Amino acid sequence: MTALTLAFAARSAHSKEELEQTLARLKTMGVDTGTDNLFRALSFSVPGWVLPPMMAGASMGGGAGAVAGGAPPSYEAGAIGAMRRIITEAEDPAEAAKRFHEMVKTGVERFNEGSLPQAVQMLELADRLVSEKKVDAGSAEITRRKVGEALDPERLKKFAENSADQLQLRKLLQFFTAFQPEGLLEALPGELKRDRRRLMLLLLEIHGTPARDAAYERLTHSLGPAVGEEEWYFRRNLLYLLRRIPRGPESQPLDNEIDLVLQHARLGLPMVVLKEAVAALGQLKDEKTEVGLAQLMNDIEAMLIKPENAPYDAKELRALLDRVAATLARLPSRPARRTLIEHAAKKQAPLGDTMSRLGELGTQNLSDDSATVEQLLGLIKANLPFKVLGMTLRQNDQNLVNLVDALSGTPTPAVRKAFEEIIAKFPDKDAARAATRSIGAWDKPAAAPAAERAGATSGNFSSIAKEPTGPAASLQGDLDVFGLPALLQSLAESSASGSLTLRETKGGTVFASVTLREGKLEEIKRGKLSGDEAFYELFEKPVPGQFAFVKGAPKAAPPGVTAKPILPLTLEAMRRYDELQEAVALVPDSMFLVPAGPKPTPHPGEKDGSFLQALWQRANKGGTPLDLEDAVVSDSYRIRRILAHWVEEGSLKPRA
């Protein structure tokens, strides 16, 4: 209750003087009114969701840079707006810096408690205050460097592993100096704890292209005469980042990157670096990559055959050979496949099982490479069991299995015929069983492409085939994961038409239904409410649950119903959410209200006299705000702000 009171005081004050007077009264009542407590109280009123990037840009009139030197963004109402005032109305720069530090610290606390969206909104405000020069840049930088040390590693890992949270997590990481790409890369070489290193690499992946570019730049640094183990492991991690983070449009030229990675794919370097370089080359599909891998394969073969003074043992080299062969097999080119087939023909014992390395070709459909297919079919024929004087002589059955595996992704008529002959003539062999599996996989109906199943709607939503009691659904997901604003904006951007159903997590009860026509809101129901008020109620009283969207042209709209754009409704709903928190602080859910004597006056923002009369008639009988919201058909914000108004003027009062 103390937190609610403090938050209400901070949000509702219209001036610095009014806030100070309210806080002074609270202080005489024994309430700790320090600004750290104010930020803590306000942080619980920050919405637990954020606008998707496109909607945030629309509400701000262009990104964060658009606010510098101008008015704060329109969504800085409620708790976020109050935090801004607390900092900007400080007596002097030192006090403003202190309050800035306290707000950022509170944001970290909310993050550690699991409230990522609330933390991000507070840190975005901090970023804007710095860009607007509302706080001293030096003091702000100290806060950026120090406060981030308190971020909970387990929370960082949890959010980083959830794709739906990664965009918001990136915003949080960008605020703190130590968690920016350069800060993480600076600390990575000296980090001794393995779990911490893994977390740092995961966070670098979250940064995406900036982290990849920074890793590339560090890989270009020349090595000194005495390179220690720490540097080699660091380079392994840099190569790992090049492999894990996709190349962006502004990345270095492909030729340059291949040359850089090939410099780390030379025999004589530590094995951990060699392995990672080979894996990174697998992502850089180019003729130069094929030539480099083929040369490395030849060098490994030569070292295995003549191992004098080799810096590796034979087992390590054969494992590296397996890795190089698998990478070549996944490259979509004839020369790479020819290199692999030529290697398979070499049967020197030190090289290991060269034929087994052909199996990786099965990851590709070789239908467009008739020369390779003919070579592999010829090898199958050469390795089939044969009869001499009526006796069946066995070839190496495992070689035949490897060759079948190599063609398992190539369903041409010639390959099918060869597989059927193996099954018919040698049904008890492993090769026949492998051929049977391959044919079965070819004949299995292909699953519909994800984009088709999802109706080509943007967003990371999972598809479902059919709801238990309804028509086929195009999308389904968890509102806790995707967030209602992101879901609605995704459907709006794709001009989707269809019906959206929202269900409670427990029990699966439908609590809202929405009809969309070409990305616009046509009809909506939320309990007893419909129309705009039903839409607002979804945001004012968010409910955890699941959604299912059924794509299709809706029936003709009822007379007088016009589809509305979603963005303006969402921005209004967010404004109402903020103001609702202020009203709830004054008249909480459990407060039992009774008439106090004075005649009620209309709320200045309410023009519907019949609605006011209906609400007062019910309030006159006494009850909690929840009782009244249940009895009078309207959204929570509209009812609660009037109840707060009547309590403030004295026409209603809490029951003793």
Taking the alpha carbons at both ends of the chain, their separation in whole angstroms is: 17
Mean pLDDT of 328-354: 92
State how far the Cα of 32 lies from the Cα of 41, in Å rounded to an integer.
11
State pLDDT tens for residues 138-195: 999 999 999 999 999 999 999 999 988 899 999 999 999 999 999 999 999 999 999 9
Same domain, 147 and 15: yes
Q: What percent of the chain has pLDDT over 70?
A: 84
Asked whether residue 220 is assigned to any structural domain, the reply reads no
Residues of the domain holding 421: 371-443
For residue 489, the model assigns a pLDDT of 84
Judge whether residue 547 has pLDDT over 70.
yes
Same domain, 18 and 120: yes
State how far the Cα of 417 lies from the Cα of 451, in Å rounded to an integer.
34
Same domain, 421 and 536: no
Same domain, 438 and 487: no
Asked whether residue 132 is assigned to any structural domain, the reply reads yes
State how far the Cα of 646 lies from the Cα of 652, in Å rounded to an integer.
5
For residue 481, the model assigns a pLDDT of 63
Same domain, 6 and 44: yes
Same domain, 549 and 488: yes
Asked whether residue 426 is assigned to any structural domain, the reply reads yes
Same domain, 144 and 10: yes
Asked whether residue 456 is assigned to any structural domain, the reply reads yes
For residue 482, the model assigns a pLDDT of 65
Q: How many domains does one find in the chain?
A: 4
Same domain, 17 and 152: yes
Residue where a domain terminates, one of 179, 209, 235:
179
Kind and range of the H or E run holding 53: helix 53-60
For residue 389, the model assigns a pLDDT of 52
How far, in Å, are 31, 236, 241, 457 from residue 272 at the CA level?
A: 59, 7, 14, 42
Burial label for 531, CB within 10 Å (0-12, 13-18, 19+), is middle
Judge whether residue 568 has pLDDT over 60.
yes
Closest CA to 116 of 202, 18, 48: 48
Question: Greater confidence, 390 or 520?
Answer: 520
How far, in Å, are 8, 27, 130, 171 from residue 83 at the CA level?
A: 12, 19, 14, 19
Mean pLDDT of 510-516: 94
Same domain, 464 and 392: no
Asked whether residue 262 is assigned to any structural domain, the reply reads no
State how far the Cα of 120 lies from the Cα of 175, in Å rounded to an integer.
9
Asked whether residue 248 is assigned to any structural domain, the reply reads no
For residue 385, the model assigns a pLDDT of 80
State pLDDT tens for residues 426-476: 898 899 999 999 999 999 875 544 434 433 333 444 443 333 445 555 688
The pTM of this model reads: 0.77
Residue where a domain terminates, one of 424, 443, 462:
443
How far, in Å, are 497, 629, 645 from residue 652 at the CA level?
A: 46, 16, 9
Same domain, 460 and 384: no
State how far the Cα of 653 lies from the Cα of 409, in Å rounded to an integer.
76
Mean pLDDT of 28-35: 69
Amino acid at 420: E
For residue 394, the model assigns a pLDDT of 58
Same domain, 457 and 428: no
Residue where a domain terminates, one of 130, 155, 179:
179
Q: How many CB atoms are located within 10 Å of the residue 251 CB? A: 16
Same domain, 429 and 505: no
Length of the chain: 656
Asked whether residue 646 is assigned to any structural domain, the reply reads yes
Asked whether residue 574 is assigned to any structural domain, the reply reads no
Mean pLDDT of the residues in the chain:
86
The strand pair at 529-530 and 652-654 is best described as: unpaired
